[in-house]
Structure 1
């Protein structure tokens, strides 16, 4: 099937225009890309401002208390906001929230900002989008996050968990694409 042409030498391509060739990518990143990772949205709020970031490098450690560990882009608005707020809401995204995942991952446009794409509930940990199936609120356990590879590691002590529904298909990230996992 041929791609449409616009008569000015431009055409639509199926590949990402800014993605390096497979052979030029880090083998560690390519290995990580083969893991199915949960798609979560981390949000924080401080002094009337909000920030959020789609995060798939996340780990939940059970215990008393439980912990959330995440690898965040150190240059993201969220990282800066989290260091000020000391709290964050971590939402697990499902099929209905793929547009939020793209907008907060900075891979899709969001006119007026990504917080305009949904209704939000303000919590003491950060804003939570309407219609989600599960979220947790946590408090930052240390001051400056530790650099790990391209990211910084943050650790939240879980203070609150809401499990609202099980029937929404969760979204996972694998090899740069989203996939939906059938609910149990």
Structure 2
């Protein structure tokens, strides 16, 4: 059986995942994309990976600078996620109008100030797999905030059931 792109995407859309923005910068120019394909690789040394489409300016800049950040989004970051997914038509540095961004202390990459956590990384390896680059990063600095996570499932953004934000909403309505 031949598997089409649409069938493949439909199957993987059922995998609930945290939402992040992978970001980078070079000489004052910033790039970023929404990503769900991000995960821990190793605790010793601290290493993560992010899958980024090779056709994006973000991937090209990561290859050039050898540094990036992964910003894990909270439930109130839905507009940020949508902007960095390209849903508003904004590109490049324009997307950073959404959210409160600062320059990372260690690698000078864009950090979302209110992210659940943000990890500044130096690229250790890039593996090309089809349309995407699997970017491995050694974690050099971490930032934290205490907020409920934003989840992506079946093509839509959701609040994690049982999160404090959802409980507050239900209490207010009920």
Tell me the TM-score normalized by structure 2: 0.81
Cα displacement string for residues 20-51 of structure 1 (whole angstroms, at most 9, x for unaligned residues): xxx96543322211101110011101122110
**1:149 aligned partner:** 130
**1:137 aligned partner:** 120
* Bigger share in helix: 2
Q: Alpha carbon RMSD of aligned pairs, Å? A: 2.1
Q: CA deviation at 1:133?
A: 2.4
Q: How many residues align structurally? A: 158
Correspondence 1:106-125 to 2 at 5 A: 106-110=86-90, 113-123=94-104, 124-125=106-107
Is the Cα contact below 8 Å between 2:19 and 2:152 reproduced in 1? yes
Gap runs ≥5 in structure 2 = 165-174
Cα displacement string for residues 113-164 of structure 1 (whole angstroms, at most 9, x for unaligned residues): 111123311013311123222111111002xx32223312111111222222
- Structure index of larger Rg: 1
**1:171 aligned partner:** 150
Structure 1 CA distance, aligned partners of 2:17 and 2:34?
A: 12
Gap runs ≥5 in structure 1 = 1-22
Structure 2 CA distance, aligned partners of 1:33 and 1:68?
A: 22
Is the Cα contact below 8 Å between 2:112 and 2:118 reproduced in 1? no
